[in-house]
Amino acid sequence: MDDNFCPICLGPIEETGVTIGCNHDFCARCMMRWILQTKDSFVTCPMCRQQVDADEIVFFIPCPPINNPHEINPHEKPSDSGEKKE
């Protein structure tokens, strides 16, 4: 699954996200709900079921994609600069 999407809610990670020890990313809200509903004495990753230690939880704010209108497409032919040649 794409790194920008939460595998719990299947939505984009737009606000705060978390990465856990096994390197899976989730929405912070989804992960908090997962932790709170856990009935075991330990928390596991919703994806791979690896045990999650509190010191392995890293919060992050995702960066929006950068759309640069001046980005060069290597497959596109260069266009005229608009200057008239005599």
Amino acid 10 reads L
Q: Domain limits of the chain?
A: 1-64
In tens, the pLDDT along 29-47 reads 999 999 999 888 899 999 9
Angle, vertex CA 11, rays to CA 38 and CA 7, nearest 5: 45
CATH numeric code, 1-64? 3.30.40.10
pTM of the model: 0.68
In tens, the pLDDT along 70-79 reads 655 556 665 6
- Inter-residue contact 54 to 21 (CB < 8 Å): no
Closest CA to 16 of 59, 46, 66: 59
